[in-house]
Amino acid sequence: MRKLYLILFLIPLRSLAQDLPAERDSISNYVLDEVEIQSRNNQLHRSPVPVQILGGKTLQNLNSLSVADAVRYFSGVQLKDYGGIGGLKTINVRSLGSHHTAVFYDGIAIGNAQNGQVDLGKFSLSNMEQIHLYSGQQPDLLQSARSYASASSIYLRSRKPHFAADKPFNASFSLKGGSFGLINPVLDADYRFSTAVSSRISIEHTRAHGEYKFRYTNGVYDTTAVRNNADIAAYRLEAAVFGEPDSLSNWTAKYYHYQSERGLPGAIVSNRFDYSQRMWDKNRFLQFEYNRKAGDLYRLAVKGKYTADDSRYLDPEYVNTEGFLDNRYEQREIYLSAANEFQLLPFWKVSVAGDYIRSTMEANLYRFAYPARNSTLVALASEWRWPDLNIQANVLGSFIQESAKEGPPAADRSEYTPSLMANWKPFAKSNLRVRVFYKSIFRLPTFNDLYYTFIGSRFLRPEYTQQYNLGVSYAIRFKNDFWKELSVNGDLYHNHVQDKIVAMPSMNLAGWTIVNLDKVGIQGLDLSVEAKAELRERMQFSALLNYTWQQARDMTQGAYNFKHQIPYVPLHAVSFTSQAGTEFWGLNYSFIYTGERYSQKTNIPVNYVEPWYTHDLSAWYAFRIEGYSLRLGLEVNNVLNQYYDVILNFPMPGRNYRFTLNLKL
């Protein structure tokens, strides 16, 4: 396997060493092969897997502070939000759990071997250009092997610099403020060193006391209280350098630094409102990517990343022989990837990709295992593309070696998982397309699952997931003076999870055990309708409606809760966004509805969680003063002041406000 992995890196060396003057002088290589203009609707329409996109003005105008706020508008998604600006926010796609959703930042995965979750609340929208959500996997053939290794994927793409011909420098400053003591300044600067090299730096600070009113009832009386210990102070720094030495190659190097201190607001139960637990996070990574094209027959993508994540959890209320509970964790990850794509025939491409990942973890826990995981991933993929039919198939080989300094490690793993997907246009004169995919994938137990002192089990099996999807897409462009575009997307899907990893109480509630137990069956429907119109000259209107019906049931034979809906999955969910405006002003409205759910595995009245909905409004106005562009914005969130819980006993804010000032130099 190591020899195969080395070959994947050695394949491109010959082409990299060659000069291709004939190719560089070709007009087709400068224009046709390197410039591809593809609209958002075209990506949705032709993709063999369901894809949802937020970007451009839509993303900019949403009432959202972080990526977590924005992904709420995707269909088939449940966002677990524990409340407030600093609360933990994770995503659950099609009820497979947050562990099955990979998050990629500028094309490279964000790893978390400790608990397998990525807090989307840490990623600000101020430097975000586009967000993609893929069910299954990204359909691009030139991608890393790690891109095939999850049931769904979120791709976050940060902003890149754009310059006028005679202007090598851009800068902008924005300031957000509002309810809960929010202060959020952001400074961005772009500089062009030459026609081939440019850079971007983005600096952000977020501070808020996080206190807001909420309504609480104990079944006898209602009261209004104030949420405490929800403060946050966070800093973000991103610095990137972009290179494009010629029309056939480009590279990017990026450093990312995020650091925060926050309170952890606890559950409101038994008339308890005050908590004192604290969390510190420090996340840094340095990553690079190099892409090269050798004519029309070969493409190469090489990626690498080093990640250092440190966290500290302090609980002054838990006292042991050493004083307060003060847990500290250190994670390190090294990642290397090489992907090769070959054009064998005009309609046939193949690719081979190899990744190496080394994850380690240290902690100050008693009898901690100090685990290390070495993963080698190899993906073989093929694509057959004709004007009305696109078929893709791949198989992923995952080879995992575990080691531990203390005690025996978990078992090594070797798994092979296939995928098959297609997009078909059945009628020549209709813009209707049909898509279908099947994907088999698994997720490894996390370090916490395996090695957490007194709780983890080193004999856990991976979770295995089977995904089936059948969808249709219809898109049309109108030639009248009002309606411009209409697109409709619908998908029926079935997912099956086996050997689901769950926590079970043992002899007492203080000692839990991680086991493989549950089987989950998931059926669902995602429906999306988007329309665009021109109300009058230069005044645009757009609207997007998403609906999800989802039945996610526990299918563990013999269980008391057999065929009960799994926790926090609503049967119905709706989101709607609309925008109207011109180049100088805009109005935006959004609505989110989440239906009834249950907080526990047993669907009985005591576990029932009521539906909730919110209305959000925003407006902005842009103008110029002496060559500077100024934009003012105002947001009103939860207009009707609804009191609700996304997670039971973790109350969300009522009506709140934000203002934005943005200045471009």
Output the 3-class SS for 348-414.
Answer: EEEEEEEEEEEEEEEECCCCCCCEEEEEEEEEEEEEEEECCEEEEEEEEEEEEEEEECCCCCCCCEE
What per-residue confidence (pLDDT) applies to 429? 86
What per-residue confidence (pLDDT) applies to 626? 82
Give the CATH number of the domain where residue 150 resides.
2.40.170.20
What per-residue confidence (pLDDT) applies to 87? 73
| Residues 430-466 pLDDT 10s | 899 999 999 999 999 999 889 887 677 888 899 999 9
Q: Is the pLDDT of residue 5 over 70?
A: no
Kindly state the percentage of the chain with pLDDT values over 70.
91
Q: What is the CA radius of gyration of the chain?
A: 25
Q: Which amino acid appears at position 50 of this protein?
A: P
Kindly state the percentage of the chain with pLDDT values over 90.
60
* Selected residue with higher pLDDT from 163 and 2: 163
What per-residue confidence (pLDDT) applies to 505? 57
Tokens 């699952």, residue? 449
- Domain containing residue 140: 2-664
Q: What is the DSSP letter of 654?
A: -
Given a contact cutoff of 8 angstroms between Cβ atoms, the answer to whether 472 and 433 are in contact is yes
Q: Name the band, by pLDDT with cuts 50, 70 and 90, for residue 270.
A: confident
Mean pLDDT, residues 646-653:
88
Q: Is the pLDDT of residue 177 over 50?
A: yes
Q: Is the pLDDT of residue 83 over 80?
A: no
| Residues 331-365 pLDDT 10s | 999 999 999 999 999 999 999 999 999 999 999 98
Helix (H) or strand (E) holding 5, with range, is: helix 2-10
> How many other C-beta atoms are found inside a 10 Å radius of the C-beta of residue 348?
12
Into how many domains does the chain fold? 1
Q: What is the largest CA-CA distance in the chain?
A: 82
> What mean pLDDT is reported for the chain?
87
Q: What is the torsional sign of CA 533, 535, 536, 539?
A: negative
Q: Is the pLDDT of residue 494 over 50?
A: yes
Q: Name the band, by pLDDT with cuts 50, 70 and 90, for residue 34.
A: very low
Given a contact cutoff of 8 angstroms between Cβ atoms, the answer to whether 648 and 614 are in contact is no
Confidence (pTM)? 0.90
* Selected residue with higher pLDDT from 68 and 190: 190
Tokens 């791709």, residue? 155
- Least confident segment among 22-31, 186-195, 248-257: 22-31
What per-residue confidence (pLDDT) applies to 9? 41
Which structure tokens are listed for 622? 């842009």
| Residues 15-24 pLDDT 10s | 433 433 333 3
Given a contact cutoff of 8 angstroms between Cβ atoms, the answer to whether 149 and 398 are in contact is yes
Phi, psi for residue 430 in degrees, rounded to 5: -120, 145
d(CA 264, CA 445): 26
